[in-house]
Each structure stands twice: as structure tokens, then as C-alpha cells.
């Protein structure tokens, strides 16, 4: 069974966390390249490293490779006034927000050790969130044509996105990941077109908004960790 090193690095600035996951990503890729020159016996004995990193960020907007600057509704001065950082990054997807009360997850997985299927990988990320929400009594699923995790419309509310997903792969090693709104301050989404989606029948939500109270972030992380291990069939070390 595959082994994964779990790291909860707490609150960290986006740049510092990006540098950190890039360091881990390079470590996994380098080890993978080195193993190509080993004997089968050496490969069998080798301890292969994969990582799952959880963190929170101070308020920051990130824009993916396919995103549009038009979806950021604040100018540079307004970003400074509201103390929100902004980064263009190398993941897929459009613009999203990271902030306190949100679980940001960065799986650094060598998919050659799991499965080489990007679509399945993204579906597994979504499924881990969907199962975690179910643990807290919230029904969630997917929205056709969109990535991420969504809550269905009801009599009072439209469809609501609760988790954004954007990934990057190099040599089948993943980085970036998901942003799961748990106790997130949703006002920050008013200053962007979240994920480039401006449909009138779609909004952004959080777990605390859905159940009407603040949620223990550590309890959510515990559930999320377990669902990751079950879906990807690995053990933590």
C-alpha cells in the first residue's frame, strides 16, 4: 500500500506555501527520475514519498493559467486597502479566493504510484470533499460542466459552490489542489467572479453558512484525511 506523509502547516502566506509545495513537488519528481536507473530490487525496497499538505492562507486571490484578469473586480489600490494579496499561478482554472477558515489542500502525489488519469484524480478530490460534507449532514455533489463541489438548489437558494479545485501536473506528480470553504468569510467572493462563473443561478457558500454555526476545523480535517486515505488507498506515515 502507498504511503503518504501528512503535514498540517497551519496559517502560512501564499508565497511561502507555494514555495514549500514546489520544494516537495521537486523532491518527488527528482526521486522518481533517480529510480529509473535503479534495479528492480532497489525499486522494490525504496520508500516512495507522497505528501498531503493542509494549510490556511491570509486573504489572497489566485488566478490560474486559463483565467481572465477581468474576473478580479478590485484594482491594485483596493487590494492594498483591503489587505488582500494577488498571484498569477500555474494551476488550471480561473480566479479563486483563499482565506482564514478555509482548508486548502495540496496533494503532492506521484500518480504513477496510484493511477495515471487526471480526470479520475480530480473526481477523487471532489469525492473526498463530498464525503466529508456528508459527515456533517450536508448533501453535496458535482455540477455538470464545472469542477469543484456543489450543493443543489432548494426553495430558497440557488446552486452553491463550496469547494474550488485547480491542479497542475508535471511528470505525473501533482501540485496545487483544493480550497474547501469551512468557516470562510464569504464577503471576499464579492470582489471577484469566482472561478469565472457569473451565472445568476450559482453562488458560493461555506460549511458554516450551510449548517448555521462555526465548525471545528480540526474535526473537518480529520474526516477529510480519512476519506483521502480510503479513496486513494494509502496509509499515513
Which residues does the annotation mark as catalytic?
195
Helix segments in 36-88, DSSP class H: 40-45, 76-81
> Residue 184's closest CA among 158, 165, 210?
210
Q: What is the CA radius of gyration of the chain?
A: 18
> Residue 80's closest CA among 60, 63, 62, 102?
60
Residues 207, 211, 215, CA angle at the centre, nearest 5°? 55
Q: Which residues contact 97 (CB under 8 A, 6 or more apart)?
A: 59, 60, 61, 179, 184, 188, 189, 192, 194
Q: Is the dihedral of CA 74, 18, 208, 68 positive or negative?
A: positive
How many CA atoms lie within 13 Å of 104's alpha carbon, on the beta-carbon side? 27
Q: DSSP secondary-structure letter at 120? A: H
Amino acid at each position: 500500500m502507498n504511503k503518504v506523509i501528512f503535514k498540517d502547516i497551519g496559517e502560512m502566506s501564499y508565497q511561502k506555501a507555494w514555495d514549500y509545495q514546489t520544494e516537495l513537488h521537486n523532491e518527488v519528481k527528482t526521486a522518481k527520475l533517480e529510480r529509473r536507473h535503479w534495479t528492480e530490487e532497489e525499486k522494490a525496497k525504496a520508500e516512495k514519498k507522497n505528501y498531503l499538505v493542509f494549510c490556511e492562507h491570509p486573504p489572497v486571490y489566485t488566478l490560474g493559467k486559463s483565467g481572465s484578469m477581468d474576473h478580479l473586480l478590485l484594482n491594485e489600490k483596493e487590494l492594498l486597502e483591503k489587505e488582500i494579496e494577488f498571484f498569477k499561478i500555474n494551476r488550471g482554472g480561473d480566479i479563486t479566493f483563499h482565506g482564514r477558515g478555509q482548508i486548502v489542500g495540496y496533494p503532492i502525489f506521484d500518480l504513477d504510484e496510484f493511477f495515471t488519469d487526471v480526470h479520475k484524480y480530480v473526481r477523487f478530490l471532489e469525492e473526498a470533499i463530498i464525503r466529508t460534507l456528508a459527515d456533517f449532514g450536508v448533501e453535496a455533489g458535482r455540477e455538470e460542466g464545472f469542477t469543484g463541489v456543489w450543493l443543489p438548489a432548494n426553495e430558497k437558494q440557488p446552486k452553491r459552490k463550496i469547494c474550488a479545485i485547480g491542479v497542475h501536473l508535471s511528470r505525473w506528480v501533482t501540485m496545487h489542489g483544493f480550497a474547501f470553504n469551512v468557516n470562510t468569510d464569504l464577503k471576499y467572493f464579492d470582489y471577484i467572479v469566482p472561478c469565472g462563473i457569473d451565472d445568476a443561478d450559482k453562488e458560493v457558500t461555506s460549511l458554516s453558512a450551510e449548517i448555521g454555526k462555526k465548525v471545528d476545523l480540526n474535526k473537518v480535517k480529520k474526516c477529510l484525511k480519512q476519506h483521502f486515505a480510503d479513496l486513494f488507498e494509502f496509509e499515513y506515515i
